Amino acid sequence: MTDLVTEDELARARTDPAFRQQFLAQNLDRLLDALERMRRASEQNADAARQLREGADLAVQLADRLQSGDLGPHAG
C-alpha cells in the first residue's frame, strides 16, 4: 500500500467526526484492495496466509466501527 496515514490525518480524525467516518471508510477500502491483491498472488505461504487473516480481522473491526457509529478514539 502506498501513501501511509499521516499524523495530521490521525489528529483530524480524532476531532472531526465527518472526516473520521470518511477516513475509516477510505482506509477500509485500501485494506480490502490490498487483501484482494495478496489473495490473487500466485505464491501463497504460511506468512501470507497469516497476514491475510490479520488483515481480514482488521477489516471486520473497521467495518463494525463504521456500522455501529463508534467513531471515537479506540483505546485498544
pLDDT band of 76, cuts 50, 70, 90: very low
Task: Give me the pLDDT at residue 43, please.
Answer: 65
Task: Give me the pLDDT at residue 1, please.
Answer: 43
Task: Give me the pLDDT at residue 56, please.
Answer: 83
DSSP H or E stretch at residue 30: helix 17-40
Kindly give, in sequence order, each residue whose CB lies less than 8 Å from that of residue 19, ignoring residues fewer than 6 positions away.
12, 13
Q: What amino acid is encoded at 26 in this protein? A: Q
Is pTM beyond 0.75? Reply is no
What tens digit of pLDDT does each residue of 14-68 get? 889 899 889 888 888 888 888 888 777 766 677 877 887 888 888 788 777 777 7
